[in-house]
A = this chain, B = another copy of it.
Amino acid sequence: MSDLVRQAVDKLRSEGLRVTEQRRAILKALSQSESPKSADETHAALPVDTCDPVTAYRCLEQFEKAGVVERGVRENGTKVYCLGHGHGHHHHLTCRQCGRTERIDLCMGEEMEKVAEGFGFTEVSHVMEVFGVCPSCG
């Protein structure tokens, strides 16, 4: 089990969530994926009969609330998740054709939050995804 998974498992415990075989498997699958995955894709990446697809949905939702995974959105609205890569917040650049994903460390989070606070908003979060056509597909 990778450090990433171990770390995630610890966080789950510290958040009062239980650690099951299914959850371990889901975290492992995410840790081995270079690009963010949807709940269904995550489930598909699991060994057969690891768990029901619904469980993947429920777990990922829990994980996000617990801050164990980060959530993004595809261009079509599909929700995707990824482990924090152990290095906090970041974004992705995704190829529209082949789905290839690159990590982008650029983020205007602080600026955004300042603006949002200026409007009196609290509990600010944001979703950002960049799309394009990669060299191989262009």
Q: Which residues of B contact A121 (CB under 8 A)?
A: 93, 95, 102, 132-135, 138
Q: Does A19 contact B (CB under 8 A)?
A: no
Query: Is the CB–CB distance between B106 and A120 below 8 Å?
Result: no
The interface size of chain A toward B, counting residues with CB under 8 Å, comes to: 35
Query: Is the CB–CB distance between B93 and A127 below 8 Å?
Result: no
Q: Does A17 contact B (CB under 8 A)?
A: no
Per-residue B-contact encoding for A95-138, CB less than 8 Å = 1, 0 else: 11000001010101001100110011111111111111111001
Q: Which residues of B contact A16 (CB under 8 A)?
A: none
Nearest residue, chain B, Cβ from A130:
B126
Stretch with Cβ within 8 A of B (4 or more), from A4-12, A22-30, A49-57, A71-79: A71-79
Query: Is the CB–CB distance between B116 and A132 below 8 Å?
Result: yes
